[in-house]
Amino acid sequence: MSLLALQSVDAAPWGDPVLTDINLRLEPGEVIGLIGPNGAGKSSLLRLLAGDFAATSGSLRFAGRALDSWPRQQLAQRRAFLPQLSLLNFPYTVEEVVLLGRTPHSTGLRADQDIVRQVLRATDTLSLRNRLYTQLSGGERQRVQLARVLAQLWHSTDMSGTLLLLDEPTAALDLAHQQQLVTVIADIAARGCAVMLVVHDVNLAASVSDRLLVLDAGQAVASGSPEAVLTPALFRELFHAEVLVQPHPNGRQPLVIGL
Amino acid sequence: MLLLLAASLPLAMLLALGSGAVKIAPGDTVAALLGVDRGQASLIVQQIRLPRVLLAGIIGATLAMSGAAMQGLFRNPLADPSLIGVTAGASLGASLLIVAGGSSLTGFMGLSLVSLAAFVGGVLAVLLVYRLASSDNGTSVATMLLAGIAITALAGAAGSLLEFFTDNERLRQISLWKMGGLDGATLPRLLLATVVAGSVLLALPRYALPLNTLLLGESEARHLGIAVNRTKLALITWVAIGVGTSVALVGTIAFVGLVVPHIVRLLIGPDHRTLLPASALGGAILLVCADALSRTLLAPTELPVGIITALIGVPFFISLLRQRHHYGMQT
């Protein structure tokens, strides 16, 4: 059974359609990258899956059950969303912010603190744990928020049945931490967590994703492995950009070079 | 910090019981409280000052805890319980009744009709603000803030219009009512305050965890499994009841609801599990001390207590603001 199944889903949260006829399946442990020009509906798709608004038509099932019929706390134990922007401007410590990710669980403070320590280590924020969130840099804040959503789903062995939605998680990260994010995603996917993320850097998207879904004007225009999707024709049509696509020296993915 | 505040409150109350037009030593105050001494001091402490000091404590606690909850809900450390229109609505309700000539009538349980009108006015204003900010997509706190400002302005204008057309005696009644004061502390009023404000003080801390997640943002709280709209409605209802009651009983006492939670947050951080009870204790201490000063500074004349809360709190607040970067606050 797919973890996530969308069938001819339309969404128009503010009147005009932002997503049209989306069909999608996501299996446990699968990583899917969303790419497309600005305003294509990538964030809207994530927010639809995060429950920020409802589909106007079509069927949207999570673990075999209609998404809007899930009890909210059970859903929060299995689905987490990292938005592009964080509004937090109160002086929580980093540890307090990450601990908030454990809100839907009642695993006890000791277990929660153990998980918090693990996700802090995974996001290289352990040394920041007593700092105030409001005094961090943009990249540090993004890693702390990432740690928070990881803590929401974290399990040291089995994360099957969970879904992590990430909206531009690398936007403020330096190169080393981008690489670290790729490792973390591969790591949780190996434990069964399904991940859907929006990334603008197509090479980063190709390196982290099993499958890419290309959106344009609210519609899915291509879907498949990075090798199949990333072609010069796609970039010409979608981004009006000329690119070279070469095999990556690491032999595992295509490499897109802007001209 | 919580322990320190909890220990300071009885001390503040003891000193407040002893101060006033007739000074009573702390030892005698304790004796009077325990009923050992049956002289004049005992009469003053038990009959006059005890209800008043208790009322000050309860009202101060309610205002400050309501302020802390509002600041969390609006994700804005400058929010204040009066922002959702309750204070202005209560003032208008009271003014209307005074102008209509109902101020001499008594309601039930020793409460004047003016108090009842104030309570009704306050709650109605909040309901109106809430309705204005609600749509099919839920309730927007930003819209609620603006609607609160609009309703406050409207109620203020209507109140001024009433004052403009009424006679001098009623005008004086209105302005005295607005200044507020704890001098009407009778046993029935104290009882009412204890029951109503006491339930607010017990209810609000149950929302500490939802408030903690709301600071991340409303969608984020929803993603963490919080019933955001239900939480919002419950918080607003409890705050309206608490602040409405306190305005009805003692008039508008500004500043406690805004500044006490802010100060407490600077000192112990934004975690509502400690912030809410600590704010309540801080508010109680501030209002008990302010009331004691208001009775002693110009004894036997009493100053309006709102003047004293501002005079004590503002310098303390400003000194904290000047070093707020130590506490990580940005706004």
Chain B: nearest CA to A100, how far in angstroms? Answer: 7
What DSSP designation does A128 have? G
Nearest CA in chain A to B325: A135
Q: Which positions ≥6 away from B4 have C-beta within 8 Å?
A: none
Contact: A91, B217; criterion CB under 8 Å? no
Which residues of chain B are at the A interface, by a Cβ-Cβ cutoff of 8 Å?
75, 77, 137, 209, 212-213, 215-217, 219-220, 222-227, 265, 269-271, 327-331
Contact: B328, A132; criterion CB under 8 Å? yes
Asked if residues B288 and B16 have their Cβ atoms less than 8 Å apart, the reply is yes
What separation in angstroms does the CA of B304 have from each of A206, B50, B145, B245, B248? 69, 19, 29, 19, 16
Per-residue pLDDT reduced to its tens digit, B265-312: 888 999 999 999 999 999 999 999 999 888 888 777 778 887 888 888
Q: Which stretches of chain B are assigned E, i.e. beta strand?
A: 134-135, 138-139
Exposure on the CB side of residue A106, measured as CA atoms within 13 A: 3
Tell me what pLDDT residue B49 has: 85
Chain B: nearest CA to A93, how far in angstroms? Answer: 9
Which residues in chain A have their CB less than 8 angstroms from residue B273's CB? none
Which member of A53, A76, A91 has the closest CB to residue B270? A91
Q: For residues B136 and A159, which has the higher predicted lDDT (pLDDT)? A: A159
Using DSSP's 3-state secondary structure scheme, residue B183 falls into coil
Q: For residues A127 and B99, which has the higher predicted lDDT (pLDDT)? A: A127
> What is d(CA B186, CA A201) in angstroms, rounded to the nearest whole number?
70
Question: Is A247 exposed, middle or buried (CB count within 10 Å of its CB: 0-12, 13-18, 19+)?
Answer: exposed
Q: Which positions ≥6 away from B130 have C-beta within 8 Å?
A: B84, B139, B144, B233, B236
What DSSP designation does B80 have? -
In the predicted structure, residue A144 carries a pLDDT above the cut 50: yes
Domain ranges in chain B? 2-325
- How far out from the chain centre does Cα B57 lie? 10
Measured over the CA atoms of residue B128, residue A89, residue A83 and residue A29, the dihedral's sign is: negative
Contact: A93, B216; criterion CB under 8 Å? no
Reported as a pLDDT band with limits 50, 70 and 90, residue A145 is very high
Contact: A72, B271; criterion CB under 8 Å? no
What DSSP designation does B81 have? G
Backbone angles phi, psi at A211, to 5 degrees: -145, 145
Chain B: nearest CA to A104, how far in angstroms? Answer: 6
List the beta bridge partners of residue A222.
Answer: A214
Measured over the CA atoms of residue B146, residue B149, residue B155 and residue B158, the dihedral's sign is: negative
In the predicted structure, residue B37 carries a pLDDT above the cut 70: no
Per-residue pLDDT reduced to its tens digit, A186-199: 999 999 999 999 99
Contact: A134, B217; criterion CB under 8 Å? no
Tell me what pLDDT residue B331 has: 46
Reported as a pLDDT band with limits 50, 70 and 90, residue B104 is low
Which member of B220, B225, B330 has the closest CB to residue A72? B225
Which residues in chain B have their CB less than 8 angstroms from residue A134's CB? 328-330
Lowest mean pLDDT of A52-56, A155-159, B44-48, B232-236, name the range. B44-48
Which member of A50, A72, A79 has the closest CB to residue B227? A72
> What is d(CA B125, CA B151) in angstroms, rounded to the nearest whole number?
7
Nearest CA in chain A to B271: A92
Contact: B75, A101; criterion CB under 8 Å? no
Lowest mean pLDDT of A60-74, A95-109, B51-65, B250-264, name the range. B250-264
In the predicted structure, residue A148 carries a pLDDT above the cut 90: yes
Asked if residues A13 and A53 have their Cβ atoms less than 8 Å apart, the reply is yes
> What is d(CA A158, CA A80) in angstroms, rounded to the nearest whole number?
16
Measured over the CA atoms of residue A57, residue A62, residue A63 and residue A68, the dihedral's sign is: negative
What separation in angstroms does the CA of B223 have from each of A102, A177, A213, B127, B216? 12, 25, 24, 27, 11
What ipTM goes with this model?
A: 0.90
Per-residue pLDDT reduced to its tens digit, B195-204: 999 999 999 9
Asked if residues B186 and B51 have their Cβ atoms less than 8 Å apart, the reply is yes
Which member of B213, B217, B327 has the closest CB to residue A87? B217
Nearest CA in chain B to A81: B223
CATH level 3 topology of B2-325:
ABC transporter involved in vitamin B12 uptake, BtuC (1.10.3470)
Per-residue pLDDT reduced to its tens digit, A104-119: 998 899 999 999 999 9
Chain A: nearest CA to B156, how far in angstroms? Answer: 32
Which residues in chain A have their CB less than 8 angstroms from residue B327's CB? 91, 132
Contact: B271, A101; criterion CB under 8 Å? no
Chain B: nearest CA to A185, how far in angstroms? Answer: 20
Contact: A97, B220; criterion CB under 8 Å? no
Tell me how crowded residue A242 is: count the other CB atoms within 10 A of its CB.
Answer: 10
Lowest mean pLDDT of A79-83, A251-255, B240-244, B270-274, name the range. A251-255
What separation in angstroms does the CA of B30 have from each of B23, B42, B109, B260, B290? 13, 9, 29, 29, 21
> What is d(CA B140, CA B124) in angstroms, rounded to the nearest whole number?
19
Chain A: nearest CA to B225, how far in angstroms? Answer: 4
- Answer whether the bond into residue B315 is a cis peptide, omega within 30°: no
> What is d(CA B36, CA B28) in angstroms, rounded to the nearest whole number?
9
What DSSP designation does B47 have? I
What is the average pLDDT value for chain B, to the nearest integer?
85
List the beta bridge partners of residue A24.
Answer: A6
Contact: B215, A132; criterion CB under 8 Å? no
How big is the A-B interface in CB pairs under 8 Å? 80
Reported as a pLDDT band with limits 50, 70 and 90, residue B323 is low
Asked if residues B109 and B188 have their Cβ atoms less than 8 Å apart, the reply is yes
Tell me what pLDDT residue B185 has: 73
Using DSSP's 3-state secondary structure scheme, residue A54 falls into coil
Chain B: nearest CA to A240, how far in angstroms? Answer: 35
Chain A: nearest CA to B327, how far in angstroms? Answer: 7
> What is d(CA A186, CA A202) in angstroms, rounded to the nearest whole number?
17
Contact: A50, B219; criterion CB under 8 Å? yes
Q: Which stretches of A70-204 are assigned E, i.e. beta strand?
A: 79-82, 163-167, 194-198
Q: From the candidates B78, B211, B218, B224, which should be mutated to test the interface with A, based on the most A CB atoms within 10 A?
A: B224
Domains, chain A: 4-258 (3.40.50.300)
